[in-house]
Amino acid sequence: MFSGSIPALVTPFRDGAFDAPAFARLVDWQVKEGTSALVPCGTTGESPTLGFDEHYQVIDTCLEAAAGRVPVIAGCGSNDTATAIRHMRYAQAAGAAAALIVAPYYNRPSQEGMIAHFRALADASDLPIVVYNVPGRTVADISAETLCKLAEIPGVVAIKDASGDLARVTIHRAGAGEGFCQLSGNDDLWLPHAVMGGVGCISVTANVAPRLCADFAAACAAGDWARALVLHDRLFDLHKAMFSDTSPGPVKYALSRIHDWFSPEVRLPIIPASEASRKAVDAALSAAGVIQVS
């Protein structure tokens, strides 16, 4: 259902408030650079710090700026099932193509609890669901076996897997079927994930290098692994630099280096990228040919 280079979009702030004009410009630039879909209100979008009204304003702004050119996968996850349902219903009414639903964090549900959570969401809304497994942040890991059970629920169409366990690509393919959409949640593992059967990545790096990431995705889709390896190597330092400090500090700094209309402002408890991180980002942007740093 989804494939290619899909940025987990940052949420720009200015003077403490959502900067809707900058976000609209970011979305338009992404689409023109070859991005295949958009994810607002994910982790990289600092969704835990967005109030309900802001969350929905971000989704609305993304949909308006995308103007139907690419699908929008709205971040709707929560550790509260009722809140996730509320987000999904809003996103569906607004025109989103799907909902990105992270594993319930902090609560640490059992695997059966995971299944009950996603089944309740699917029962409450017919918006397609992209399951997001990121145990490094949520602590609760959606096992490969549980994901295969989730794939049996009508409406659960894809996985964004940031577990770092590449063996799961094969397990998911066998248990969920070839038609189930597998997306990498780790930029640095995008290449091996694609070789094993993945069809794209919900990416942090794509925020700052959308054309390179789109070209990389196209090479993978064509089975041009030699070309994909060249682009992987070109992007690799940038992948690392995006996590040289707590995300999304580095990626917001990188965008401020590329666009003079983008502010690197983040919200507490995230703080701006450190000096060491900024140096790493500058070096990686230069090495990838995104900007020239003197």
Q: Indicate the length of the chain as a whole number.
A: 294
In 3D space, the residue among 175, 63, 281, 192 whose CA is nearest the CA of residue 201 turns out to be: 192
Measured at the CA of 248, the angle between CA 81 and CA 253, to 5 degrees, comes to 155
CA 184 to chain centre: 9
- Long-range CB contact pairs, 245-248, < 8 A, 24+: 245/273, 245/274, 245/276, 245/277, 246/270, 246/271, 247/43, 247/44, 247/204, 248/10, 248/44, 248/45, 248/46, 248/204
In 3D space, the residue among 238, 241, 243, 251 whose CA is nearest the CA of residue 287 turns out to be: 238
d(CA 245, CA 267): 14
Catalytic residue list contains 132: yes
Question: Catalytic one among 56, 90, 105, 160?
Answer: 160
Catalytic residue list contains 160: yes
In 3D space, the residue among 235, 226, 139, 229 whose CA is nearest the CA of residue 187 turns out to be: 235
Question: Catalytic one among 132, 149, 252, 253?
Answer: 132
- Catalytic positions, please? 132, 160
